[in-house]
């Protein structure tokens, strides 16, 4: 069995037993990156020397007992909006080119304390604004299942890297579906935990009340193991919560008595028939395993997209004002005064989608429109949360699509921003309500592209969706794509 075919939990066991060395695992990952990434462009920054030096340190730490984590020595990747001291961190934006933070994100620090080996930083939509990883200033990432299709976004680089065997697991961030949608498109598993479970310290913010860090991996067991490591209370993040963890302990095959709700609002017009039938087949598997399922009316679904983009863009316009060409990153070369420095640096440094969202966010916060748009969106957010609260009085888990379709072709959604925004219709409500959600692969459409089933639970209900996902994956285990052999020019043969 190839090293990169192992799950994170499986490889961790092999490393702890001494059957596979940490350097051996790191070299296998780097070899795949060097061979395959010219095809996929999942990474923005890889450092062989740093990675192998870290691998040797971890090997010694495992031997002397410093690192006892189940994932010690496992090679991982992190999204490029997570700070890592000494590594260029750009959020896939020209305006942060050359920026090397002097500190490390708390979630990444937790990985390092556990002995994982960081391979590099993955590509993403610029400042996490997009659903395809095509808004990156450094070029798009391609889907390992079909190079003509997008990997989803904004954590498309992380999802593609896992699917392509270029890392064992990866971290992403999820503001409105940015872990779950690319996991669905790339046929991997990704979980967005309850808001406040993972510290946002060191995550370069898009929408502060919505952003949450989470893992992308081959299966549910891997996601649970990573979540056990990265979840912690952090005094540096005022939204970080003290709570019980132990996610891996919830992984049981028995789901008898689990009550599943299927929102009629999510399975109407606009949902691709292949996606609908595949997900309903997966629900049938869960029922065969002992769960019960019934349809119900959730409500407020049509208001989720406008409420989300109003709130997220308002917060983005505030969060991104700090990137001005003065303190770090890109600065225009020619300017006459301070005002022109700001204007030209931001105009040249930000891409079109980021500019669009900054302008929209500034508009809804402006005098005369604040009450009409922003405050109204906050009221809708509260109503969406109440609708989920009512649903979870009856159901343990809600089943939904992760996206209305499978992965679209490159260029199709980017040319139509409204179409790109609507692709988030089944994911944004989870962020608005602060709920946990997971996407697990449950089959493929007629084109052979993966379909993801989204499982949603009430706040702090990660164990329920992990348990359901684990039970499903005991029947339908992870399936990797067939990776094409690149030629010397980095093109598919």
Rounded-to-integer distance, Cα 287 and Cα 277, Å: 15
Annotation marks residue 318 as catalytic? no
Rounded-to-integer distance, Cα 174 and Cα 216, Å: 11
Please say whether the beta carbons of 23 and 55 come within 8 A. yes
Which residue in 178, 184, 248, 403 is the catalytic one?
A: 178
Rounded-to-integer distance, Cα 450 and Cα 136, Å: 23
Which residue in 136, 154, 158, 429 is the catalytic one?
A: 154
Please say whether the beta carbons of 349 and 323 come within 8 A. yes
Annotation marks residue 79 as catalytic? yes
Which residue in 14, 79, 121, 464 is the catalytic one?
A: 79
Please say whether the beta carbons of 40 and 142 come within 8 A. yes
Rounded-to-integer distance, Cα 153 and Cα 167, Å: 18
Annotation marks residue 344 as catalytic? no
Active-site residue numbers?
79, 154, 178
């Amino acid at each position: 069995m190839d090293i990169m075919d192992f799950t994170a939990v499986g490889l961790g066991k092999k490393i702890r037993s001494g059957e596979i060395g940490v350097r051996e695992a790191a070299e296998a990952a780097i070899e795949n990156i060097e061979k395959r990434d010219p095809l996929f462009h999942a990474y923005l920054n890889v450092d062989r020397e740093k990675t192998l030096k870290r691998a040797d340190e971890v090997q010694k730490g495992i031997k002397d007992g410093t690192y006892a984590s189940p994932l010690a020595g496992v090679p991982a990747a992190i999204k490029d909006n997570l700070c890592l001291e000494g590594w260029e961190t750009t959020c896939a934006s020209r305006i942060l080119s050359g920026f090397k933070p002097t500190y490390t994100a708390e979630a990444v620090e937790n990985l390092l304390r556990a002995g994982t080996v960081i391979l590099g930083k993955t590509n993403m939509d610029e400042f996490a604004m997009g659903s395809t990883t095509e808004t990156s200033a450094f070029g798009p990432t391609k889907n390992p299942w079909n190079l003509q299709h997008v990997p989803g976004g904004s954590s498309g680089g992380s999802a593609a890297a896992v699917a392509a065997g270029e890392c064992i697991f990866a971290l992403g961030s999820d503001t409105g579906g940015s872990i779950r949608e690319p996991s669905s498109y790339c046929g991997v598993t990704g979980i967005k935990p309850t808001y406040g479970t993972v510290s946002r310290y060191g995550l370069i913010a898009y929408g502060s009340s919505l952003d949450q860090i989470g893992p992308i991996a081959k299966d549910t067991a891997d996601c649970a193991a990573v979540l056990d490591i990265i979840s912690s209370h952090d005094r540096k993040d005022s939204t970080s919560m003290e709570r019980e963890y132990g996610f891996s302990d919830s992984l049981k095959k028995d789901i008898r008595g689990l009550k599943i709700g299927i929102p009629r609002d999510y399975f109407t017009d606009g949902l691709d028939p292949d996606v609908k039938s595949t997900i309903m087949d997966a629900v049938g598997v869960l029922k065969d395993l002992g769960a019960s399922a019934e349809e119900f009316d959730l409500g407020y679904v049509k208001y989720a997209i406008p409420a989300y983009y109003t709130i997220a863009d308002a917060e983005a316009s505030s969060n991104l004002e700090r990137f001005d060409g003065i303190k770090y990153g890109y600065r225009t070369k020619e300017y006459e005064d301070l005002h022109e420095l700001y204007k030209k640096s931001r105009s040249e440094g930000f891409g079109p989608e980021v500019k669009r969202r900054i302008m929209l966010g500034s508009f809804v916060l402006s005098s005369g429109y604040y009450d009409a748009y922003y405050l109204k969106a906050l009221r809708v957010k509260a109503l969406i949360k109440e609708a989920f609260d009512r649903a979870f009085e009856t159901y343990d888990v809600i089943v939904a699509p992760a996206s209305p379709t499978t992965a679209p072709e490159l260029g199709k959604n980017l040319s139509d921003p409204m179409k790109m925004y609507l692709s988030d219709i089944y994911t944004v409500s989870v962020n608005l309500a602060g709920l946990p959600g997971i996407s697990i692969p449950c089959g493929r459409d007629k084109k052979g592209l993966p379909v993801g089933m989204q499982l949603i639970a009430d706040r702090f209900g990660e164990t329920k969706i992990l348990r359901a996902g684990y039970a499903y994956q005991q029947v339908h285990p992870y399936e990797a794509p067939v990776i094409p052999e690149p030629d010397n020019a980095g093109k598919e043969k």
